[in-house]
Structure 1
Amino acid sequence: MEREALAGLLTDGTRAATAARAAVLEGGAYTVWDGGVPCEELAGTYARRLRHTRRTGRRTLDLERAVERLRGHGAPVRLGRVDAADRSWTYLLFLDEDGESLVACTGVSRSPR
C-alpha cells in the first residue's frame, strides 16, 4: 500500500489514527499484511493486552475503543503496523479485509511508562 493511500485511511478522528497518520506522513516505517484475520480472535487478544497494559501502566491510545470496534465488526480484518520515525510509538491498524477502510487503530508506547 502506498504511503499516501494509508494516510488517507487514518482519518477517523481518534487520537491513535491521528497519531498514526502523522507517523506515516513523517516517514515512519509501516506495513500492511495480506489476508484477513477473524476479528473475534483479535478482539480477545487485544482485550487481554488491554488488561495487561492497565496492570503494567504502559501508555496506549484508543486500545479500549479498538477492542469494542473489533467485537462489533463481525468480518475478518487486515492488519497493519506503523512505527513512529523516532520509534517512540507503534500503531496497530485494523482495516477491512479489502484494505479500503479503517475499522480500528490503537497505539502503544515503546517505553514502559
Structure 2
Amino acid sequence: MERELLERLLVGDDEASVAALAVLRCGGSYVVWEGTTASEPLALIYGRRLRHTRRRRVETQNLAGAVELLGRHQRPVRLGQIRATDGSWTFMLFLTEDGGRLIACTGVRRTHV
C-alpha cells in the first residue's frame, strides 16, 4: 500500500488515528500485510491486551475503542502497522478486507525503546 493512500485512510478524529498519521508523516515505518483475519478472534486478542495494558499501566490510544469496533465488524480484517522512528509508539491498523477503509486504529507506547 502506498504511503499517500494510508495517510488518506487515517483521517479519523480519534486520538490513535491522529497520532498514527503524525508518525507516518514524520517518516515512521509502516506495513500493511496481505491476507485477512477474522475480526472476532482479533477482538478477543485485543481485549486481553487491553486488560494486560491496564494492569501494567501501559499507555495506549483507542485500544478500548478498537476492541469494540472489531467486535461489531463481523467481517475479515486486513492488518497494518506503523512504528515511530524512535520506537516510542507502535500503531495497529485494522482495515476492511480490500484495504479501502480504516475500521479502527490503536497505539501502544513501547516501554523498551
TM-score, normalised with respect to structure 1: 0.97
Gap runs ≥5 in structure 1: none
Q: Distance in 2 between matches of 1:104 and 1:82?
A: 13
- SS of the aligned residue for 2:20 comes to helix
Distance (Å, rounded) in 1 between the aligned partners of 2:73 and 2:43: 10
Query: Which aligned runs of 4 or more in structure 1 are off by greater than 3 angstroms?
Result: none
Query: CA RMSD, aligned part only?
Result: 0.8
Structure 2 residue runs without a partner (length 5+): none
1:1-113 equivalences in 2 (<5 Å): 1-111=1-111
Determine helix, strand or coil for the equivalent of 2:31: strand
Number of equivalences? 112
| Deviation for aligned residue 1:48 | 0.2
Please give the secondary structure, in 2, of the residue aligned with 1:86.
coil
TM-score (normalised: structure 2): 0.97
SS across alignment from 1:57: coil
* CA distance in 2: counterparts of 1:93 and 1:75, whole angstroms: 15
Q: CA deviation at 1:25?
A: 1.0
